[in-house]
Structure 1
Amino acid sequence: MIKGLGGLGGLGDMAKMMKAAQEMQGKVAELQESFKTMNAVGEAGAGLVTATCTLEGDLKALEIDPSIFDPSQKEVVEDLILAAIKDAQKKAADRKQDEMKRLYESLGLPADMKLPI
């Protein structure tokens, strides 16, 4: 018998840690998969242009109020469209980060922990 192992206690703790790590990896993977269907909406021009994207940053919808379709305002409209898309992408990135923090905290991990998963 090898001294210091206390039977299988040390190995049992390692098995528990491995199981917890696998569960955590599964939860992270599940959350990351959900980012493909979770949306964030950005806007520009006080709502004249809205953009919707997934938390992965993929643009899904763009809505433009018809009142801004004036040929002399072409550059303004283009700027509003870009601003709305950027706003949606930033909101998506922020929400994605918040969702990951919430998961880490629920697992008893530091909210700012960066896992290689």
Structure 2
Amino acid sequence: MFKEMGQMASLLKNLPKIQTEMKAFQERLPGLNAFGESGGGLVQVEVNGNFELTRLHLNVPVIRPEDKVLFEDLIRGATNLALHRMREQIAQEMARITAGLGLPAGAGLPGALGLPGLLG
């Protein structure tokens, strides 16, 4: 019980710094990039920190109609991989920020980036 009270006191004491760090991180989000590929490089995608698909590259000259479903699956897989990597980048940055504020590991700030449930 006292441990949690100490953590809360630390959080409140550092609130202005936390707000500054979170605002700076929010501003950096669009500049973050994560890459994903599938099918041995046949499909490559890139997403940004706003979870937007910024690049899609198909390394095939022409898609035959019978290959359409396969490529849809490859695109989905590459996109999901890139999004997973972006979540990992954001989680690492959040851990760095909270550690720098003297908060315990796992003391995430749900919704702090305006993206509720992002890390959980």
SS, match of residue 35 in structure 1: helix
C-alpha distance in structure 2 between counterparts of 1:100 and 1:52, whole Å: 21
For the Cα contact (< 8 Å) 2:94–2:108, is it kept in 1?
Answer: no
1:4-44, Cα deviation, whole Å (9 max, x unpaired):
xxxxxxxxxxxxx3xx3212211111112211111101111
1:29-71, Cα deviation, whole Å (9 max, x unpaired):
1112211111101111121111100122111111110257233
Partner of 1:102: 96
- Cα deviation for residue 72 of structure 1 reads 2.4
Aligned residue pair count:
100
Structure with bigger gyration radius: 1
Aligned residues: CA RMSD: 1.9
What's the TM-score once normalised by structure 2's chain length? Answer: 0.74
List alignment gaps of at least 5 residues for structure 1. Answer: 1-16
Structure 1 residue runs of 4 or more that deviate by more than 4 Å after TM superposition: none
Selected match of 2:19 from 25, 28, 31: 25
What's the TM-score once normalised by structure 1's chain length? Answer: 0.75
SS, match of residue 31 in structure 2: coil
